[in-house]
Amino acid sequence: MSDLPRRISGLVLLLVALALPLVMSDFWLQTGLFVMATAIGAVGLTLLVGVAGQLSLGHAAFAAIGAYVFAWSTGESTTSVSGLGLPPVLGLVLAAVVSAGVGAAFSPIAGRLRGIYLGLATLGLVFVVRHLLVNLDQWTGGFVGRSVEPFAVLGFSFSNRDPDYLAIAGVEFSGLHRLWYLFLLLAVVAIWLASNLRAGRTGRAWANVRDSETAAAAMGIGVAGAKRSAFVVSSAYAGVAGAMLALAYGRVAPDVFSLTASVDFLVMIVLGGLGSVAGAVVGAVFVTSLPLVLAQYSSALPFLAAPGSGGLDPSTAARIVYGLAIIAVLVFLRGGLAGAARRLRARLRPTPAVGQPAVAAPSRSKETTR
Amino acid sequence: MSYLLEQVLNGLSYGLVLSLIAAGFAIVFTSTGVLNFAHGSIVLLGAYLVAVLHDSIGFWPAVLVGLAGAALVGVAINAVLVRNLADKKPDTAAILMLGVDIVLLTELTRRIGNQVLTLGAPWGASVVRFGDVSLPTGRVLAAGVTVVAFGALWYLFSRTDLGVGMRAAAADGPTASLMGIRLSRTAATGWALAGVLAAVAGIFLTSFPAPGVAPTVALSAFAAIPAWVLGGFDSVPGAVIGGLLIGLTSALVTGYESDLEPFLGSGFGEVAPYVVMIVVLLVRPSGLLGSKEAVRV
Amino acid sequence: MKHRLRAAATLSAAALALAACSTTAPSSSSGEGGGDDVATGNGVTDSEMTIGMLTDLSGPFAAGAAVQVTETQAYWDQVNADGGICDRDVTVDVQDHGYDPQRAVTLYRSMAPDVVALQQVLGGPTSSAVLPLAEQDSLYVGGVGWAGSALAFENNQLPGASNAIQAANAVDYMLDDLDVPEGSTIGVVYFTGDYGGDALAGAEHAAQERGVEILAQEITPATTDLSAQASALAQADVAGVVLAAAPTQFASLAGVLASQGADVPIIGMNPTFNPSLLTTPAADALLANAYSMTSISPYANPDSAGVQAANELYASADPDGALGWEVPLAYVQAELLKQALEGACEAGDLTPEGVVAAFRDSSSTDTEGLLPDGLDYSEVGQSPTTTVFVSKVSADAEAGLELLDQVSGPSAESFSYGG
pLDDT tens series, chain C, 419 aa: 455 555 555 555 555 555 555 665 554 444 444 446 788 888 898 899 999 999 987 777 777 888 899 999 999 999 999 999 989 999 999 888 888 888 888 889 888 889 999 999 998 888 888 998 899 889 999 988 898 888 989 999 999 999 999 999 999 999 999 999 999 999 999 988 888 989 999 999 999 999 999 999 888 888 888 888 898 898 889 999 999 998 889 999 999 998 888 899 999 998 888 888 898 888 999 999 999 999 999 999 888 999 999 999 999 988 887 788 889 999 999 999 999 999 999 999 999 999 999 999 888 888 888 999 989 999 888 999 999 999 999 999 988 999 999 999 999 999 998 75
Identify the band that residue A17 occupies on the pLDDT scale cut at 50, 70 and 90: confident
Inter-chain touch A167–C136, beta carbons under 8 Å: no
Which chain B residue's Cα is nearest to A335? B87
Q: Which of residues 47-76 of C touch A (CB under 8 A)?
A: 57-58, 62, 65-67, 69-70
Indicate the residue type of A30: Q
Q: Parallel, antiparallel, or unpaired: how do β-strands C401-407 and B133-136 relate? A: unpaired
- Per-residue pLDDT reduced to its tens digit, A68-100: 999 999 988 887 788 888 899 999 999 999 999
Q: How many CB pairs under 8 A join A and B?
A: 132
Inter-chain touch C197–A292, beta carbons under 8 Å: no
Å from C18 to nearest chain A CA? 7
Å from C102 to nearest chain A CA? 8
Domains of chain C listed by start with CATH number: 39-162+302-385 (3.40.50.2300), 163-294+390-414 (3.40.50.2300)
- Per-residue pLDDT reduced to its tens digit, B152-211: 999 998 888 888 888 888 777 788 888 888 888 889 999 999 999 999 999 999 888 888
The pLDDT of A283-298, averaged and rounded, is 84
Q: What ipTM is given for this predicted complex?
A: 0.86
pLDDT at residue A10 is higher than 50: yes
Range of the domain at A193: 17-257
- Per-residue pLDDT reduced to its tens digit, A234-251: 999 999 999 999 999 888
Secondary structure letter of residue A330 according to DSSP: H
Q: What is the pLDDT of residue C321?
A: 78
Sign of CA dihedral B3, B9, B13, B14: positive
> Of the candidates B35, B87, B96, which has its C-beta nearest A327's C-beta?
B96
Long-range CB contacts (within 8 A, 24+) of C9-14: C9/A11, C9/A14, C9/A15, C10/A14, C10/A18, C13/A15, C13/A18
% of chain B exceeding 70 in pLDDT? 97
Give dist(CA C381, CA A254) in Å, integer: 24
Highest mean pLDDT among A218-222, B187-191, B266-270, C106-110: B187-191
User: Best of B52, B55, B110, B116 to disrupt the C interface by mutation (most C CBs within 10 Å)?
Assistant: B116
CATH of span B2-283: 1.10.3470
Q: What is the pLDDT of residue B294?
A: 41
Q: What is the pLDDT of residue A1?
A: 44
The residue among C329, C326, C342 whose CA lies nearest residue C275 is C326
Residue A288 domain flag: no
Inter-chain touch A27–C17, beta carbons under 8 Å: no
Burial class of residue C414 (count of CB atoms within 10 Å of its CB; 0-12, 13-18, 19+)? middle
Give dist(CA A99, CA A239) in Å, integer: 5
Q: What is the pLDDT of residue C32?
A: 45
Chain A residues touching residue C98 (CB < 8 angstroms) = 291, 295, 315, 319
pLDDT at residue A269 is higher than 50: yes
| Residue B15 phi, psi dihedral angles, 5° rounding | -60, -35
Residue A327 domain flag: no
Tell me the β-bridge partners of C122: none
pLDDT at residue A340 is higher than 90: no
Domain ranges of chain B: 2-283
Give dist(CA C62, CA B152) in Å, integer: 41
Number of domains in chain A: 1
Which chain A residue's Cα is nearest to C10? A15
Q: What is the pLDDT of residue C279?
A: 87
Chains touching A, CB cut-off 8 Å, 3+ pairs? B, C
Residue A139 domain flag: yes
